[in-house]
Structure 1
Amino acid sequence: MALHTDAAHSSGQVLPFRESLLATLGICFVIMLVALDQTIVGTALPTIVAELKGFELYAWVATAYLLTSVITVPIFGRLGDYFGRKPFVIASIVVFVGASALCGMADSMLFLVLARGLQGIGGGMLVGTCFASIADLFPDPRVRLRWQIILSASFGIATAVGPSLGGFLTQGLGWRWVFYCNLPIGVVSLFFVWRFVPHIRHIQHEGKMRLDWPGALLISLSLGSLQLLVEMLPKRGITVGMLGLLALSAASFYALWKWEQKAAQPILPFEMMRDRALSSLFVLSVLAGFAMFSLLMYAPLLFQGGFGMSPREAGLLITPLVACITVASIVNGRIITRIPNPNMMMTVGFVLISAACLGVVLCDRGTGGGFMLATMLAGGFGLGLVLPNLTVFAQQAASRQHLGIATALLQSLRMIGGMLGTAITGTLVSQMYGAGVQKALEGDHAAQWLKDFSDPEVLVNHDIQSVLLAQLMQAGHNGSALLDAARDALVGAIHMGIAIAIVAALGGLWMVRRVPPIKFGNDAKVEPVMSE
């Protein structure tokens, strides 16, 4: 049933002010749910590994979530274009909150990884539908940017609180509460979305709508096999199994491209890739995600395991990084439509991200707090200039019927970049840390203690450290020196991973030049359909 008014469209929004505010608040609560989870888990992860054991699955706590998210984001982004986004947002909240409860009940790293995979499905559904909902409510980009300040504030509050809250909960109530805290937020977000967010559809179909299930399957096969290849190749080398994954990924991508060209209602319309603006923004999203997730996931391990900080101290140091994302997003929203070259904001953003990654690489245990703080501030401000502009630019460049899939694909590609960043850095940490520790132990004729040092949890868990130091002292070894050597090995490994993130950020700086100048005019008057 078509419900619209001339007054609403003349102001660039489909609902009156009060209804628009309540609907936007509903979307904000959903965004907070995802944003909080992205930052709160990273701070608690070293402690989780110390309790559940299994450092070999450290990276998989993040990559399992990213893997399932990256698959579901484009699928539900396109389904939202067809059927409207509200039903999928509601379903995703239920899945996400239920999976969060399972994560909190995990009794092993494998269980946690599986629960995080389920949580990623809910998170992918949320990201694939929620970010495009704001463009449904506010078709005019100038009006949308004003309202998007509220979204940026909510995202920033959640991300700013996340690291400190993660450290507080981990030390005070236990790491399981970093997942249980999603439950009340999920209940509130479910109420607001159910009650106030309208059911809007932009694409009308004659006859029965057929889902592109082959396309969805091929997306899952291509992205899933790619993730497994990235995760396993550095550890196992070139084997028949790895070549099989490479062949499966390549064949699935090719089959997806061929199938979507002839599909009546493709889930991934490849004609978007011919648009220079969109294709450039998609690449930038991958590069930004690589740098962002490398910092968010491994800076806490660097500070706690490498520099010996407590979870609370590490959380307080990470807070400026995520808090400045909000500040920069708000500043960006106020000035982006008033400057002659909006693309310049992303250029500045990638410069700051590059500087932040370089600063992390230069940090060691003797680095002053002021330098670390400046590094985190630069990274947060850079991400705050890049991330919202990627979304706004893509929504401005995409056609109305491709709004959802363009927005969703942008988020999905950012997750792919994050998936690559965490997997590569995780592999470097595992390999370089192990080699460094082995060398140090052999040099002190303490090779029999290699098993005790093989897992970096010994650098995080002070109880384990005390027992190990006592045992080493009884055996006549300098336990403190060996622990320092292990910390140095961990720091060097993480530095190498972040150095690769510098290359990604510099690649983004070069790629910004390929984005055609974005202009913020009024969108065409396309009448949405709101279903009762």
Structure 2
Amino acid sequence: MPQPHSDEPAGQVLPFRKSLLAMLGVSFVVMLVALDQTVVGTALPTVVAELQGFEYYAWVVTAYLLTSVITVPIFGRLGDYYGRKPFVLASIVVFTVASALCGLATSMPFLVLARALQGIGGGMLVGTAFACIADLFPDSHVRLRWQVMLSAAFGIANAIGPSLGGVLTEWSGWRAVFYVNLPVGVLGLWFAWRYLPHLRQQAHGGPVRVDWLGALLIAVGLGAMQMSVELLPGRGFDAYTAGLLVLSALAMVALWHWEQRCANPILPVEMFRNPGLAPLFQLSVFAGFTMFALLLYAPLLFQGGFGLSPKEAGLLITPLVVCITVGSIVNGRVITRIRRPNAMLYAGFGMLALATLALSQATRAMPHGMLLAIMLVGGFGLGFIMPNLTVFAQQTAGREHLGIATAMLQSLRMVGGMVGTAIVGTLVTRSYTGGVDHAMAAAGASQWAARMGDPQVLIDKASQLSLLGELGQAGHNGALLLEQARMSLVSAIHLGLLAAGIAAAVGVWCAHRVPPVRLARTAEPAMAAE
């Protein structure tokens, strides 16, 4: 296989122009996943209304998340062995075809299955695309500068996703939300096929056996956990949800024992014993916990709790998603110039904790400028955290485990998001429902408690008018009861955000367990390019 040319810039495998084009391909891949995650949520209520299957509502998201979490470590490991380009190309094809199938769905079960297939493609993308950066740029200083492109792609997709989803749903129907992935997928496929080199480890040779039993145990463990996450807010901790959690724990214990005996484990347990990697994995869980809670419940706080319009709420959320990108750019400039790169992890988790805890105390009377500042601080915090976790893990894991280490960070961030969604969602649901039930019972209007107990009524103006009319005809002060429901929602979300803020604060404390990282300027041995 040909070796890299001698005139390539230090710290990168390809010349600048080819590196730029290769990174454009990877950026389109990242944008494909990020865009899908943000536009689909906006269209879900319309999807359910047309396809008639509210019992499958959560599974449209869950099916994608579950299959992607399972496949991320599988293809992260296979990419270490066979190179990442074949899997990047295959993942784009799978994701794009699945997006078309989602748009063609005629029933909710069909849509859930198509989303599961889309999750497989998404897991392949996440498990391989992020590791491509370390292949292309062995020098960590150079890598940090180029990762700005990924952060920009991720930030742009997050910034325009919710608005784009709403516009497409309103103008062209919900199916357009899935079809928008097709041109992005075609662009990503062309750039990746044409410009992304097939980099492989020179030392590897021979067939590799996939640890399918390990993959099955991961699927059972995470699948049972995710099902319990979905059921916990509504059912509470009953025998069924407890059984799912026990099944998840047993599968994880079995996975741990099997991976220690497996000759070719999909999940190398020694990575969790590595004093440099283990704390980074823990921090990824805490980051996912807080990030997902903030992204899910800040919009509900602004719209349902503070009574802002979707446009006003979108403007307040924009600094959070945009400053993730800006924070990554600033981080890349700063971290290579300071003696202790670990300080950026402290700063990131500290800012994230500060923003989440501040939002947990926000009121409707708080000036919008203050809310914008809180979102800005949270975005910068995430911008300091996410690229550094990736670079630190890649620096610590070395070339042999680079792909699986990167994939594990992404998987554990999603697992943290699942756990955070369960805990925060349960706190918000229980607190809000309890507050509404108490207010409605005190007013003698308990028969309307179920309808008021759905926070959607605080956002949907048509539902509000209908409910207020019924309450007025029955002699109740509907406006007062609606205001009490808003106050209950604000208190409930405050409680959930407080839990998320505590998780970020624990991240600040755990950051001290990360050994000092030195971002060496000497490039690692080059990989063979086909």
Match of 1:433 in 2: 432
| CA distance, structure 1, for counterparts of residue 101 and residue 308 of structure 2 | 29
| CA distance, structure 2, for counterparts of residue 166 and residue 360 of structure 1 | 26
Kindly provide the CA deviation profile for residues 211-242 of structure 1, in whole angstroms up to 9, marking residues without a partner as x.
Answer: 11112112212222222334434644555444
Q: 1:503 to 1:45 in 2, by over 3 A?
A: farther
The correspondence of residues 238-257 of structure 1 with structure 2, limited to 5 A, is: 239-257=238-256
Amino acid at match of 1:79: L
- Asked whether the equivalents of residues 350 and 381 of structure 2 are also in contact (C-alpha less than 8 Å), the reply is yes
The correspondence of residues 475-514 of structure 1 with structure 2, limited to 5 A, is: 475-514=474-513
| CA distance, structure 1, for counterparts of residue 111 and residue 296 of structure 2 | 16
Match of 1:124 in 2: 123
Match of 1:445 in 2: 444
- Asked whether the equivalents of residues 80 and 404 of structure 2 are also in contact (C-alpha less than 8 Å), the reply is yes
1:368 aligns with 2:373: no
Deviation at 1:443, TM superposition (A): 1.8
Match of 1:89 in 2: 88
Q: 1:108 to 1:207 in 2, by over 3 A?
A: closer
Q: 1:243 to 1:486 in 2, by over 3 A?
A: closer
| CA distance, structure 2, for counterparts of residue 47 and residue 368 of structure 1 | 33
TM-score under structure 1 normalisation?
Answer: 0.92
Deviation at 1:60, TM superposition (A): 5.1
- More divergent stretch after superposition (272-281 vs 174-183): 174-183
- Asked whether the equivalents of residues 233 and 425 of structure 2 are also in contact (C-alpha less than 8 Å), the reply is no
Deviation at 1:505, TM superposition (A): 0.3
Match of 1:344 in 2: 343
Q: 1:379 to 1:270 in 2, by over 3 A?
A: same
- Asked whether the equivalents of residues 231 and 427 of structure 1 are also in contact (C-alpha less than 8 Å), the reply is no
Match of 1:210 in 2: 209
The correspondence of residues 240-279 of structure 1 with structure 2, limited to 5 A, is: 240-279=239-278
| CA distance, structure 2, for counterparts of residue 300 and residue 103 of structure 1 | 26
Amino acid at match of 2:498: A
After superposition, the CA RMSD in angstroms is 2.6
Match of 1:98 in 2: 97
| CA distance, structure 2, for counterparts of residue 425 and residue 109 of structure 1 | 27
Match of 1:219 in 2: 218
Match of 1:385 in 2: 384
Match of 1:354 in 2: 353
| CA distance, structure 2, for counterparts of residue 435 and residue 114 of structure 1 | 35
- Asked whether the equivalents of residues 11 and 523 of structure 2 are also in contact (C-alpha less than 8 Å), the reply is no
Match of 1:6 in 2: 6
Deviation at 1:520, TM superposition (A): 1.0
- More divergent stretch after superposition (38-47 vs 472-481): 38-47
Amino acid at match of 2:421: T
Report the secondary structure of 1:6's partner residue.
Answer: coil
| CA distance, structure 1, for counterparts of residue 486 and residue 509 of structure 2 | 35
Q: 1:227 to 1:93 in 2, by over 3 A?
A: same
Match of 2:398 in 1: 399
- More divergent stretch after superposition (480-489 vs 338-347): 480-489
| CA distance, structure 2, for counterparts of residue 56 and residue 363 of structure 1 | 33
Q: 1:74 to 1:424 in 2, by over 3 A?
A: same
- Asked whether the equivalents of residues 170 and 311 of structure 1 are also in contact (C-alpha less than 8 Å), the reply is no
Deviation at 1:195, TM superposition (A): 1.6
Deviation at 1:96, TM superposition (A): 2.5
| CA distance, structure 1, for counterparts of residue 241 and residue 36 of structure 2 | 32
- Asked whether the equivalents of residues 290 and 414 of structure 1 are also in contact (C-alpha less than 8 Å), the reply is yes
Report the secondary structure of 1:400's partner residue.
Answer: coil
Q: 1:150 to 1:356 in 2, by over 3 A?
A: same
Q: 1:144 to 1:350 in 2, by over 3 A?
A: same
The correspondence of residues 121-200 of structure 1 with structure 2, limited to 5 A, is: 121-170=120-169, 173=172, 176-200=175-199
Report the secondary structure of 1:122's partner residue.
Answer: helix
Q: 1:207 to 1:190 in 2, by over 3 A?
A: closer
Match of 2:421 in 1: 422
- More divergent stretch after superposition (274-283 vs 170-179): 170-179
Deviation at 1:249, TM superposition (A): 2.2
Q: 1:110 to 1:438 in 2, by over 3 A?
A: farther
Amino acid at match of 2:10: S
Report the secondary structure of 2:358's partner residue.
Answer: helix
- Asked whether the equivalents of residues 43 and 311 of structure 1 are also in contact (C-alpha less than 8 Å), the reply is no
- More divergent stretch after superposition (464-473 vs 115-124): 115-124
1:474 aligns with 2:473: yes
Deviation at 1:479, TM superposition (A): 1.8
| CA distance, structure 2, for counterparts of residue 32 and residue 387 of structure 1 | 16
Amino acid at match of 2:245: L
Deviation at 1:460, TM superposition (A): 2.0
Kindly provide the CA deviation profile for residues 405-426 of structure 1, in whole angstroms up to 9, marking residues without a partner as x.
Answer: 0000011101111111122222
Deviation at 1:515, TM superposition (A): 0.6
Report the secondary structure of 2:208's partner residue.
Answer: coil
- Asked whether the equivalents of residues 356 and 501 of structure 2 are also in contact (C-alpha less than 8 Å), the reply is yes
TM-score under structure 2 normalisation?
Answer: 0.92
Amino acid at match of 2:74: I
Q: 1:329 to 1:421 in 2, by over 3 A?
A: same
| CA distance, structure 1, for counterparts of residue 66 and residue 390 of structure 2 | 21
Deviation at 1:51, TM superposition (A): 7.6
Deviation at 1:120, TM superposition (A): 2.6
Deviation at 1:193, TM superposition (A): 1.2
Match of 1:521 in 2: 520
Amino acid at match of 1:325: I
| CA distance, structure 2, for counterparts of residue 50 and residue 491 of structure 1 | 27
Structure 2, gaps ≥5 residues long: none
| CA distance, structure 2, for counterparts of residue 105 and residue 489 of structure 1 | 40
- More divergent stretch after superposition (190-199 vs 319-328): 190-199
How many residues end up aligned between the 2 structures?
A: 530
| CA distance, structure 2, for counterparts of residue 53 and residue 292 of structure 1 | 31
Report the secondary structure of 1:362's partner residue.
Answer: coil
- More divergent stretch after superposition (348-357 vs 146-155): 146-155
- Asked whether the equivalents of residues 43 and 300 of structure 1 are also in contact (C-alpha less than 8 Å), the reply is no
Amino acid at match of 2:252: F
Kindly provide the CA deviation profile for residues 370-406 of structure 1, in whole angstroms up to 9, marking residues without a partner as x.
Answer: 1111111011011001111110111111120100000
Q: 1:359 to 1:180 in 2, by over 3 A?
A: farther
- Asked whether the equivalents of residues 49 and 457 of structure 1 are also in contact (C-alpha less than 8 Å), the reply is no
| CA distance, structure 2, for counterparts of residue 481 and residue 47 of structure 1 | 30
Deviation at 1:50, TM superposition (A): 7.8
Q: 1:243 to 1:471 in 2, by over 3 A?
A: closer
What is the identity percentage for the equivalent residue pairs of Structure 1 and Structure 2? 63
| CA distance, structure 2, for counterparts of residue 318 and residue 157 of structure 1 | 13
